[in-house]
Amino acid sequence: MNTVPVELGERRYDVVIGAGVRRELPAVVSAAVPSAARAVVVTQAGIGVDVDPGIPRDWFTIPDGEKAKSLAAVEELCRFFAHSGLSRSDVVIAVGGGVVTDLAGFAAASFHRGTPYVNVATTLLAQVDAAVGGKTGVNLPEGKNLVGAFWQPSAVLCDTEVLTTLPPREWASGRGEMAKYAFLDTGRPLDAGSDVPFLDAPLDEQVARCVAIKATVVAADEREGDGRMVLNYGHTLAHALEAVSLSPGSSLDLRHGEAVGVGLVFAALLARRLDRITDDGVDAHLRVVGAFDLSPDLPPGIDPELLLTFMTRDKKAHHDLTFVLDGPDGVAVVRGIDPGEVLATLGEMETMRQAPSP
């Protein structure tokens, strides 16, 4: 069992990682939220993970899929909290992946202007990223995660035992975030010959390493100044692709980590276009994305102008186009990108996708 602290002063909490750690929930709740006399457990029907917080609890099941992250769902969940008699001294338990932890965390942040919550992360994506760091929120038709709050959990349990039942595409979703952390691991640019960080470590150690990287960044910049924005590496295009997939009538089916893999390659190509990295740096991105079994290809048939529109709404932007890009000193925030450079890079990705395999 690994324990990674997230050092935030009064809001400090532990992320506990290992096989079977969900069974530690009663002790964790007792220690992290000693005032809690009852709990509401929020989950999804397909999760299939039972937990016992050690206190009386009610269950609330949200719909499957990213579309569950809506303001209507927040209202429904908060009304359930009220009907169940939950007080601000009690606790919300989120059991599931990033959709559950984002939605339940935002509802907890809103109910009584702040109710404690504990995440029991059941997907690789949630364990290495979504359940840690206190960013909660829901989607709008205009973009992903545009409404939310910074509200730190009281504790996080990452039970690697439950990952054995994940379907392949859910694995891919988590691997996309792990690929991102590979570029943040050393703080230095990777080249085409570099070993991929932590790729060959046991799963518990891989999860712990990703959590430790995120914990260090969050402790230094809790509310997303330029420092924390590096955690969005690969996400500007990824979130735009996800916004397209959530649009009415869209046939695009792309998991978050799959979109991040595409976004990492896009970010590398854009960085090369801006003379921040060389061909060697692009090759390193392609190799890392491939090492995590992700496709680098931009899905066909998406209007580049539509992607650009969604990218202008990205949370990092200050009335401009802002990206996290690799460079001579590693990954950093770059503001004021010319839209023409973005469109040209999307065109380059389309050319790459259509090129015959060597």
256 catalytic residue (yes or no):
yes
pTM for the full predicted model: 0.92
Residue 248's pLDDT is 87
Using CA atoms of 196, 263, 322, 101 in order, give the dihedral in degrees to the nearest 10. Answer: -90
Residue 249's pLDDT is 87
Q: What percent of the chain has pLDDT over 90?
A: 82
Q: Average pLDDT of 65-70?
A: 91
Of residues 326 and 185, the one with the higher pLDDT is 326
Catalytic residue among 22, 235, 272, 316: 235
For tokens 């100044």, name the residue.
225
Edge to edge, the sheet with strand 117-121 lists: 2-6, 13-18, 155-159, 117-121, 91-96, 39-44, 57-62
Catalytic residue among 22, 69, 135, 255: 135
pLDDT band at 130 (very low <50, low <70, confident <90, very high): very high
Please name each of the domains of the chain with its CATH number: 2-165 (3.40.50.1970), 224-354 (1.20.1090.10)
Q: Is the pLDDT of residue 25 over 90?
A: yes
Catalytic residue among 57, 144, 180, 214: 214
180 catalytic residue (yes or no):
no
Residue 319's pLDDT is 72
Residue 6's pLDDT is 98
Q: Is the pLDDT of residue 138 over 80?
A: yes
Residue 190's pLDDT is 72
- Contact between 346 and 290 (Cβ < 8 Å): no
223 catalytic residue (yes or no):
no
First to last CA, the chain: 44
Catalytic residue among 113, 223, 318, 319: 113
11 catalytic residue (yes or no):
no
224 catalytic residue (yes or no):
yes
Of residues 172 and 114, the one with the higher pLDDT is 114
Q: Average pLDDT of 38-67?
A: 94
135 catalytic residue (yes or no):
yes
- Contact between 121 and 130 (Cβ < 8 Å): yes
Q: Is the pLDDT of residue 206 over 90?
A: yes
Of residues 144 and 38, the one with the higher pLDDT is 38
| 325 three-state secondary structure | strand
319 catalytic residue (yes or no):
no
- Contact between 302 and 244 (Cβ < 8 Å): yes
Chain mean pLDDT for the chain: 93
Catalytic residue among 57, 209, 239, 276: 239
Q: What are phi and psi of 163, to 5 degrees?
A: -70, -15
Catalytic residue among 57, 144, 177, 258: 177
Residue 131's pLDDT is 97
Catalytic residue among 57, 256, 276, 316: 256
Catalytic residue among 228, 255, 272, 316: 228
Nearest Cα residue to 175 out of 96, 293, 285 = 293
> Which token pair is 68?
């569950």
285 catalytic residue (yes or no):
no
Residue 356's pLDDT is 64
Integer angstrom CA distances of residue 109 from 101, 104, 121, 216: 12, 9, 18, 23
Q: Which residues pair with 119 in a beta bridge?
A: 94, 156
232 catalytic residue (yes or no):
yes
177 catalytic residue (yes or no):
yes
Residue 114 has a CB neighbour count (10 Å cut-off) of: 12
Per the document, the length of the chain is 358
**301-356 residue pLDDT tens:** 999 999 999 999 876 666 789 999 999 999 999 999 999 999 999 999 999 887 76
Q: Average pLDDT of 27-37?
A: 98
Residue 128's pLDDT is 97
- 356/351 Cα distance (integer angstroms): 10
Q: Average pLDDT of 210-229?
A: 93
